[in-house]
Structure 1
Amino acid sequence: MRPQRALSAALFLGLVLPASAPISALAQHFNGDRAFDITKQFVAIGPRWAGSPGHAKAESFLRNEFKHDHLEEDTFTANTPIGPVPMHNFIVKFPGKKDGVIVLCTHYETNYPLKDTSFLGANDGGATTGLLIEIANELRPQMTGGKLDGYSVWLLFDDGEEAIANPPYSANQWSDSTAMWGTRHLAAKWSQDGTLQRIKAFLLADMIGDKDLDVLKESQSTPWLTALVAEAARNTGHAKYFFASEGAEEDDHLPFLKRGVPSIDIIDVNYGPHNAQTPDGWHHTPQDTMDKISAKSLTISGDVFLESIKLIDRR
C-alpha cells in the first residue's frame, strides 16, 4: 500500500505541477505560524534595551529556548556614549559533518534612545528572533548522529545592534562607533581565535516579518551569496518578494564583511508608509507592533533561509 500511495501522489504532483518546478518547492513550508507565536511571546516582554529589566527577560527567554542545545554566551562590556554597558551575544551551535560554518544572525534588543517610548521592535529584532528560534526547531530533527549532514549552522542572537546614545533618537546617532556593538565585538574575537576562517557564509535577518514583504537587494553584500539567496527564493516560489529594489544598508553584516567573510543583509527597509508623520515608515517608531507583521512573511523568510542553507551545503 505504501509504494502505491507514493506512486499515486507522484502522479498527482506530475499532473498539477509544471515539469520545471524545483524539487524544493514541493517540500513542506517552514512553520511561519509557530515563528509568529514565538515572536508574539518574545515581544510581549516589552522594551528590551540594553540594561533594562526587559533585556534581562529577553536573555532568560533565549536561555530557556535553547536549554537543551549547545548554547554559548559571549559576554562583554561595550564602552558606549552613555558609559560602559554589559552585553550578551548568544550563539546556538548545531554541528555539521562538513568542515565549515554557516552563521544566521539577528539582533534581539530594542533601541536605547527610544527607551522612554512604547517602542517594542516587533519587526525590528522581534520577528527575526522568532524566525531563528523556529529555524532551530527545523534543524533539530535533521540531525543524525548528533550532526547535520552539511556544514555546521550557528544561530547568532547579537546584542547592541541598535545605537546607544542619549535620547531622543535621531538617524545620525547610528554609526559604526555607536551601534553594531555585538557583531563588531564578535567579528574581532573570532578573527583572533581563528573562527572567522571557518565561516562559509554569514546571513543576517532584519525586519523581514513585514506583512508587505519586499526584501532589498543590499548592494554591499557578497555578490555570489546574493545570487544564491535569489536562487533560493526562486526554488521556493518566493522570488516576487526579493530584490525588486537595490540599495546599501549599514547593518550587522558589515563587521564580518569587512573582515572578508561572505555576508548578506536580508532586510526589508520599506516598512510602513513614508509621510510627514513617519518619514522612515514604522521603523524606530511605537507603530512597530505585532499587527504590522505576519506569519505568511515569516513562512516566506524561513523557506528562503532553509533553502539557502541547502544551497550553501552543495557548493
Structure 2
Amino acid sequence: MSPAYRNPIGVVSLWLGFILMLLSCVKAYEKISDETLNRLSRPNNDFDIHNGALLSPILRTRVPGTPGSTAVLNHFADFFRTTLPNWTVEVQNSTAKTPVSKGKEIPFRNFIATRDPPWAPVGDVSRLTLVAHYDSKLEPEGFIGGIDSAAPCAMIMHAMRSVDAALEKKWSALEKQGLHEYLDEVQGLQVIFLDGEEAFQEWTDTDSLYGARALATHWDDQVYPAMSEFKTPLSSISLFVLLDLLGAKSPSIQSYYETTHWAYKNLGALEGRFKSLKQFKSASADRWFIDAAKDERNLKSFGGIQDDHLPFLAKGVEVLHLIDYAPFKGFPSVWHTLDDDGEHLDMDTVEDWSMLITAFVAEWMELEGYFDQPPAVGVRSDEDSDESEAIRLNKKTEL
C-alpha cells in the first residue's frame, strides 16, 4: 500500500505508544536548572517579624485550646483562601486530657491543605507532604517558639505560594495535550500544620504529639473507594517531610532513615548549588546537611529524634525529618527558652530555608520549564506557543 493511503488510526496508535514509552522513562524527581534557582521567588518583607504577612501572625503564644491558637489557625485558613484558592482546606479535630487539664478535654486542631491535579480522583494521588507543628509550649509562660515552629510554618507557606502557579501551568498543559491520561503516577501536594506537639508537663508517649497521634489514627481508619490506587490517606503520602527547630544560624541536619536518604541528599545538593550561585543570604560556609556525603548504610543517627513524625512512621509512612540537631552539641541554644522568639531568629537563614524547600518541591513536582520566563524578544504566534509547550512536556524523556 502506498504511504499516501496509510491507516490514520494506526499512525495515531503508534504516536500514543511512543508517548507512553517516553513517559515510562521519566524519573519521579527532576532537577531544576540554575536559571530557575536564580529566579525562584523570595519571601522578602513577608518574613518581617513585626508585620510580615506570613511570619508575624504566627509569632505569638499559641497553646492548644487558647485564643492564640485560634488566631494562628485562622491565619492559615485566610492565607490559603485568599492566596491559594485552588487548594482544598480542612481541619481535623480531636480532644484529649492532659496532665494539667484537671480532667478537662482540650481541643486539638490539625490544619490540612491539599492540591491535587484536577483530573485525578482523591484516592489515586500520591502526595508530597510538608509538615510542621504550630502550637507553642505552655511553659515557660509567654513562650513564642520562633524556630519551634513558627518559622518552619512560614517557610512551608512561602514554598507552596512560590510553586502554585507553575504547578497549575504544568497540569493545564498536560490536560491540553492529553498527556495526563498516560501518567503512571499522579502527584499532588499536601501541607499539614499539626497541633499539640509540645508536652504540657513532661514529654511522655501520652503527653506529646496529641495532634499527630490523632491524625495518624484517623487517616489509618479512613478508607478510599474500592478501586483506588491507594487504600488510605496514609498510604498516599509519598514522603512526609517534617520541619522543626529551623531558623537558627548554621544548622546541622542529620539523615535518620536509610529509605529516604536519597531525598536528604537531593536537599544537600540543592544547598550546595544555592551556595555556589551565591543565592544564600546566610554567611555560614558550613554544610547544613552533614550526612550528604554518606552512603545510606553508613548513617549513625541512632533511630532519630522524637517528634511529630513518629505516629506516621509507625504506620509505614516514609519520613524525611529536617531538624536542627548537632552531634555533641544538641539543639539550638534558644530551644525551649524565652529567647526562642522572633528577635532571635536568624532571618537570613530563615529565608534560605524557604528557598531550599521551594526548590525541593519544584524538583519533586518536576516543574522545570513551568516557572514564568523573562519576556521574550519579539512576538510568538499561538501555534509557536503550543509547539513550545509540547516540546517542554516531552523534554525530560530524551535519552
Instruction: Give TM-score scaled by structure 1 length.
Output: 0.77
Query: What is residue 224 of structure 1 aligned with on the other side?
Result: 262
Q: 2:115 aligns with which of 77, 82, 94?
A: 94
- Conserved 8 A contact 1:32-1:298: no
Cα distance 1:92–1:189, how it changes in 2: closer, same or farther (>3 A)? same
2:168, 2:332 → 1: CA distance?
A: 46
Partner SS, residue 243 of structure 1: coil
1:40, 1:310 → 2: CA distance?
A: 22
Output one character per residue of 1:66-123: Cα deviation in whole Å (capped at 9) or x when no partner: 2234211111112332342111101111113783101000111101233xx2211112
1:30, 1:295 → 2: CA distance?
A: 16
Shift of 1:48: 0.8
Shift of 1:264: 1.2
Report the AA paired with residue 31 of structure 1: R
Query: What is residue 214 of structure 2 aligned with on the other side?
Result: 185
Shift of 1:241: 4.0
2:167, 2:210 → 1: CA distance?
A: 32
1:202, 1:232 → 2: CA distance?
A: 19
Query: What is residue 155 of structure 1 aligned with on the other side?
Result: 191
Partner SS, residue 201 of structure 1: strand
Residue 126 (1) aligns with residue 150 (2): yes
Partner SS, residue 298 of structure 1: helix
**Which segments of 5 or more consecutive residues in structure 2 lack a partner in the other structure?**
1-30, 175-185, 223-231, 292-299, 367-399
Please tell me whether Structure 1 or Structure 2 has the larger radius of gyration of its CA atoms: 2
Report the AA paired with residue 178 of structure 1: D
1:205, 1:103 → 2: CA distance?
A: 11
Report the AA paired with residue 216 of structure 1: I
- Conserved 8 A contact 1:228-1:311: no
Partner SS, residue 142 of structure 1: helix
Residue 51 (1) aligns with residue 65 (2): yes
1:266, 1:280 → 2: CA distance?
A: 14
Query: What is residue 307 of structure 2 aligned with on the other side?
Result: 251
Q: 2:133 aligns with which of 93, 101, 107?
A: 107
Runs of 4+ with deviation above 6 angstroms: none
Shift of 1:39: 5.1
Shift of 1:141: 1.5
Query: What is residue 296 of structure 1 aligned with on the other side?
Result: 348
Query: What is residue 28 of structure 1 aligned with on the other side?
Result: 39
Cα distance 1:223–1:55, how it changes in 2: closer, same or farther (>3 A)? same
Cα distance 1:22–1:163, how it changes in 2: closer, same or farther (>3 A)? same
1:214-293 aligned at under 5 Å gives the runs 214-220=251-257, 222-237=260-275, 240-244=286-290, 247=301, 248-269=304-325, 281-293=333-345
Output one character per residue of 1:267-303: Cα deviation in whole Å (capped at 9) or x when no partner: 1136xx98xxxx9721111111212213321232122
Cα distance 1:118–1:220, how it changes in 2: closer, same or farther (>3 A)? same
Shift of 1:185: 1.4
Structure with the larger strand share: 1
2:54, 2:147 → 1: CA distance?
A: 9
Query: What is residue 309 of structure 1 aligned with on the other side?
Result: 361
**Which segments of 5 or more consecutive residues in structure 1 lack a partner in the other structure?**
1-20, 166-172
1:308, 1:38 → 2: CA distance?
A: 23
Report the AA paired with residue 41 of structure 1: S
Query: What is residue 397 of structure 2 aligned with on the other side?
Result: none
2:190, 2:155 → 1: CA distance?
A: 14
Instruction: Give TM-score scaled by structure 2 length.
Output: 0.62
Residue 42 (1) aligns with residue 60 (2): no
Cα distance 1:32–1:269, how it changes in 2: closer, same or farther (>3 A)? farther
Residue 66 (1) aligns with residue 80 (2): yes
- Conserved 8 A contact 2:324-2:332: no
Report the AA paired with residue 200 of structure 2: I
- Conserved 8 A contact 1:43-1:121: no
Cα distance 1:178–1:199, how it changes in 2: closer, same or farther (>3 A)? same
1:182, 1:241 → 2: CA distance?
A: 33
| Alignment RMSD (CA, Å) | 3.0
- Identity of matched residues, %: 22
Output one character per residue of 1:187-223: Cα deviation in whole Å (capped at 9) or x when no partner: 222222211111110101112122x131320424733
Cα distance 1:184–1:202, how it changes in 2: closer, same or farther (>3 A)? same
2:171, 2:243 → 1: CA distance?
A: 24
- Conserved 8 A contact 2:134-2:195: yes
